[in-house]
Amino acid sequence: MDKPQPEHLKSAGLKSTVPRLNILNLFKSGQERHMSAEDVYKHLLASGDDVGLATVYRVLTQFEQAKLLVRHNFEGGKSVFELNQGKHHDHIVCLQCGHVEEFYDAAIESRQKKVASERGFAVHDHSLHIYADCVRKNCPHKR
Amino acid sequence: MDKPQPEHLKSAGLKSTVPRLNILNLFKSGQERHMSAEDVYKHLLASGDDVGLATVYRVLTQFEQAKLLVRHNFEGGKSVFELNQGKHHDHIVCLQCGHVEEFYDAAIESRQKKVASERGFAVHDHSLHIYADCVRKNCPHKR
DNA sequence: ATGCGAATAATAATAGTTCTCATTTGCAAT
DNA sequence: ATTGCAAATGAGAACTATTATTATTCGCAT
Ligand SMILES: [Mn+2]
Ligand SMILES: [Mn+2]
Ligand SMILES: [Zn+2]
Ligand SMILES: [Zn+2]
């Protein structure tokens, strides 16, 4: 279902290589939406696709620059990536289980623009991370 | 002006030591409001206070736990600390000069609570970082 | 099929931070 | 003031995430 074709990379100015196709394919597979370099590396090895960790880091950065992926810097020190699906959103991260929930709030977005422009800043982007606990018992996601 | 006294540390459950007093003093001096461990280390060395870098890291973390300082994880990989002055605020970071501007917007804050509670999360805290350019030429702060 | 610049993978290197442990220090009880 | 000891420090090793180096391999236009 929707396996990445060489054209997807070509149109981003990147030549079609095995590691690039595998990484893009992993994100498109939808198994896990938010993944670190280490996560990607392990998934690829697990599925028999041999790849170097340095290549994973390089490709993730290239994909970020090509706007195929978006990078997030949550607490915990490591960058996390997700498919760029065009629509910006922010995140709630569960401190118990690590589950990441997405949301978009138009009021928050427009207030941010207002705050920044009132102070003479031209906004490039922003990150809004809410750290919380799943209230429900049986927090359904693993740490 | 307002040099930290041993009592300030004692009441936080920390015994009064030279490195701790020096670090707290540096933040209270107000020279620089947001500082990384490295920043603190260099400031202390520059003012003739010999200290170990590991001690700086340890004390900053202790001060964070004691709620004397607040930690921020801006883009760029290193933690930045500031005096905890009781009132929460968020940050605009200038991508040109590194200047950090603080703001508080009640509408944004209350919407965050709403968004999280609607989804069944109990909020611990959040971080909102707006990355932007100072619009004015002569961006008045050094990188 | 060939050639060449780009991409890869293994490894070393770097940056930020934490850990280990021998030594020193704060401070409470003499 | 002196002592005793748990807590704190500082030097360096160790660790984690990431980037740089470079010899080899690969994609792809010719
Ligand atoms: Mn997301
Ligand atoms: Mn601040
Ligand atoms: Zn947003
Ligand atoms: Zn806020």
| Residue-level pLDDT at A134 | 83
Task: Quickly count: other Cβ atoms within 10 Å of residue A9's Cβ.
Answer: 20
Say yes or no: Cβ of A36 under 7 A from any atom of strand D: yes
Pick the CATH number of A90-132 from 3.40.50.300, 3.30.565.10, 3.30.559.10, 3.30.1490.190: 3.30.1490.190
User: CA-based Rg of chain A, rounded to a whole angstrom?
Assistant: 17
Same fold for the pair B7-83 and B90-132: no
pLDDT in tens, B89-105: 999 998 888 889 999 99
| Residue-level pLDDT at A142 | 41
pLDDT in tens, A93-107: 988 788 899 999 999
**Highest mean pLDDT: which range of A7-21, A95-109, B4-18, B46-60:** B46-60
**Domain spanning B7-83: CATH 1.10.10.10:** yes
pLDDT in tens, B60-117: 999 999 999 999 999 988 999 999 999 999 999 988 888 899 999 999 999 999 999 9
Q: What is the rounded distance in angstroms from the CA atom of residue B66 to the CA atom of residue B73?
A: 18
DSSP string of A29-98, one letter each residue: H-S-SSEEHHHHHHHHHHTT----HHHHHHHHHHHHHTTSEEEE--TTS--EEEE--S---EEEEETTT-
Stretch B9-27: mean pLDDT: 93
B64 CA to centre of own chain:
9
Closest by CA to A126, choosing from A85, A100, A89, A99, is A89
- Contact between B34 and B82 under an 8 Å Cβ cutoff? The reply is yes
Residue A3 pLDDT exceeds 80:
no
Give me the residue spans of the domains in chain B.
Answer: 7-83, 90-132
Closest by CA to A75, choosing from A36, A26, A27, is A36
Closest by CA to B28, choosing from B66, B67, B2, is B2
| Residue-level pLDDT at B10 | 83
Stretch A137-143: mean pLDDT: 57
Do the chains contact at B112 and A130, CB–CB below 8 Å? yes
Structure-block tokens of residue A54: 């340095």
Q: Is B136 within 8 Å of chain A by CB?
A: yes
Ion ligand 4: residues, CB < 5 A: B 90
Structure-block tokens of residue B41: 């280390």
Task: Quickly count: other Cβ atoms within 10 Å of residue A93's Cβ.
Answer: 22
Q: What is the rounded distance in angstroms from the CA atom of residue A31 to the CA atom of residue A47?
A: 13
| Residue-level pLDDT at A4 | 60
Residues in chain A: 143
Q: Is A104 within 8 Å of chain B by CB?
A: no
Residue A30 pLDDT exceeds 50:
yes
Enter the DSSP assignment of B77. Answer: S
Which of B121, B131, B137, B141 to mutate: most A Cβ within 10 Å?
Answer: B121
Helices (H) and strands (E) in chain A, counts: 5, 6
The continuous run of DSSP H or E covering B102 comes out as strand B100-103
Say yes or no: Cβ of B19 under 7 A from any atom of strand D: yes
